[in-house]
Structure 1
Amino acid sequence: MNFEDLKPKVHALLAANNLNRDEKLKNLCQFLSDSISYYNWVGFYFANHEAKTLHLGPYIGAATDHTVIPFGKGICGQVAESNANFVVPDVAAQDNYIACSFTVKSEIVVPLFVNGINIGQIDIDSHVIDPFTEKDERFLEFVNQEVAKLFK
């Protein structure tokens, strides 16, 4: 699997004129989950800055009870405050982790910026310990740059 080979498909999925934004994001989540073997749950959370909460958007994977996450809570909540990527090689070793499922072993969260404001994030869980590399981070930053165009 080569991330560079996936980029044109990401662009094409998000450029589909016959779909609304949530449909495009759901299709993107499905594509990422299907294309990268260790992307077992792929979804978006979007920020409500007034309430200081994140709200679950389109996703693919096991159902989650975590539909609203306070800023600062868990990995996603920490990214909402830090505005920085957060890679967790082993969730069992992370203090401020919100357990979604016993099958989740690692997580990566990359913030989504529109006009310099962190409006949300892409969140990916894996059933594998420590699968995420700097290449995943750079690819997901590209994905979020493309997603940001849907909000402009």
Structure 2
Amino acid sequence: MFNIEGYRGTRVENYDLVKKQLQALVHDETNQIANLSNASALLNQFLDRINWVGFYLTDTNEELVLGPFQGLPACIRIPFGKGVCGTAAATKTTIRVEDVNQFPGHIACDAASQSEIVIPMIKNGELLGVLDIDAPEKNRFDEVDQEKLEEFVELLVQHL
């Protein structure tokens, strides 16, 4: 699951290692853009079978705007309630989509994307934005991915 040279842990151990690396990157850093940039680069380096990872940030109470990411150019603004990211933002819940072509109103920024997971970033009850990860295969994300990526986001939000 992860591209860690020479390391062969379980999926849970691998996610825990990535969380430790995130902690080292964001420790003592308060700049939001720097922390989000390093977090997207870290996930892009370690998650396999993905084609886009990044953040959409709350710009108004009605839309998200593109933030730091790794991958092809992406949609810049997404209204709350539209597509997977906008729906996750509006509901403040994680959304895991096995087949994006079956998601009503899906916004196709990259035609290669087949599945997606979006995790809201919430601090003190306020939506800061969402972590969005796309994969070029169906059913890429499961319960373990969801649980561990939610923990990753929780840790990251403490430094935003």
Where does structure 2 lack aligned partners over 5 or more consecutive residues? 3-13
Task: Find out whether 1:9 has 2:18 as its counterpart.
Answer: no
What is the match of residue 9 of structure 2? none
Of residues 33, 41, 45 in structure 2, which corresponds to 1:30? 41
User: TM-score, normalising length from structure 1?
Assistant: 0.90
C-alpha deviations, 1:132-151, integer Å up to 9, x for none?
A: 01111111111211221123
TM-fit CA distance, 1:23? 2.1
Q: Does residue 133 of structure 1 match 2:133? A: no
Aligned equivalents of 2:100 and 2:156: distance in 1? 27
Aligned CA RMSD, in angstroms, stands at: 1.5
Alignment-derived partner of residue 72 in structure 2: 62
Quick check: 1:14–1:25 contact (8 Å CA) kept in 2?
Answer: no
The Cα of 1:101 is off from its aligned counterpart by: 1.4
SS at match of 2:57: strand
Residue 28 of structure 1, CA deviation: 1.4
> What are the equivalent positions in structure 2 for 1:1-152 lying under 5 Å apart?
1=2, 2-15=14-27, 17=29, 20-50=31-61, 52-64=62-74, 66-151=75-160
Indicate the SS of the match to 2:78: strand
Assess if the C-alpha contact under 8 Å between 1:16 and 1:24 holds in 2: no
> How far 1:91 moved relative to its partner?
0.9
Q: For residues 142 and 16 of structure 2, what CA distance do their matches in structure 1 show?
A: 15
Q: Find the aligned partners of 1:15 and 1:27 in 2 and give their Cα distance.
A: 12
Look up the SS of the partner of 1:150 in the other structure: coil
For 2:148 and 2:76, the matched residues in 1 are separated by 25
Identity of aligned residues (%): 34
Offset of residue 16 of structure 1: 5.6
**Counterparts of 1:62 and 1:16, CA distance in 2:** 30
Which segments of 5 or more consecutive residues in structure 1 lack a partner in the other structure?
A: none
Aligned residue type for 1:3: Y
CA distance in 1, matches of 2:157, 2:17: 20
Secondary structure, in 3 states, of the residue corresponding to 1:4? Answer: helix
TM-score, structure 2 as length reference:
0.86
Contact 1:72-1:78 at 8 Å conserved across structures:
yes
* C-alpha contact (below 8 Å) 1:44/1:59 kept by paired residues: yes
